[in-house]
Chain A
Amino acid sequence: MKAFRFLFLAAFFAVLFWASFSLPPRGDLKAPAMQELSRSGSLSAGSYYMENSYRETHTENIVTAVLADYRAFDTLGETLVVFVAGVACALILRKRGDPS
């Protein structure tokens, strides 16, 4: 059974490794995902970021530019979710019998 599990994992890894050769290079504007048009006929948002993010933010990492600039409000929400969850955990797990 263990050998079967190992073989299954190895085969799965081989399939993924083989499929990774078919992926387009990173940042390729010719990739199918970038060719998708929006309803109004313009290019999708991803190609806009790839073309303009360095010019507008001087940040070379497109992911950082999208995460912290174009989608900064979303990141603010994520940070606040982490913060509120942590405060709730800290309050629930507090040692009992502590008057403070």
Chain B
Amino acid sequence: MIQGTDSVVVRLSCRVVARIIQVFAIYVVFHGHYSPGGGFQGGGLLAAAVILLRIGEGLESSQRELPSRHALMIGSIGALVFLLSGIANVIFGGRYLQYDSLPFKAIPPEDLHYWEILVIEIGVALAVMGILVAIFDRLMEGVPDDD
């Protein structure tokens, strides 16, 4: 179990930097349509923010950020978003992951591709984030204190 540091400077800067990392991660996920980025990279950054808080504030205090028992659940939700968005295409008469089969007549089929790419990128980001945080938490559970 890691305890975090006693230094106020380190704790505060961890909190500030974690927020900046999260904002940048969301930017990476949503801007993956226009620049390098996407679900895997954004999910890694989201997990990095949580892990930074785990290291700086300790495993106990950072449970408010993301409880350890919810990490695997978030990963499962991300994978399910990807799977179910493909199944939704099948339900509405298309093939698996054929994005333009959704019944939104107002949106042109090219924009349906655009939006469903965004949905599955978010799913990938959630899956990667949940899995990385879950592995980190399981690794840190058994670590003895330094001091």
Binding site for B on A (CB under 8 A): 55-61, 63-65, 67-69, 72-73, 75-76, 78-80, 82-83, 85-87, 89-90, 93-95
Contact = CB atoms under 8 A, between A and B. Distances in A.
A57 B117 contact: yes
Q: Is the interface of B mostly helix, strand, loop or mixed?
A: helix
A60 B117 contact: no
Nearest to A100: B69
A65 B121 CA distance: 11
Classify chain B's interface size.
35 or more
Contact of B134 (A63, A65, A78, A86): A86
A66 B135 CA distance: 30
Q: Is the interface of A mostly helix, strand, loop or mixed?
A: helix
B60 interface: no
Interface in B102-145: 110-111, 113-114, 117, 120-121, 123-124, 127-128, 130-132, 134-135, 138-139, 141-142
B86 A76 contact: yes
Nearest to B72: A90
Nearest to B118: A68
Contacts of B141: 93-95
B97 A65 contact: no
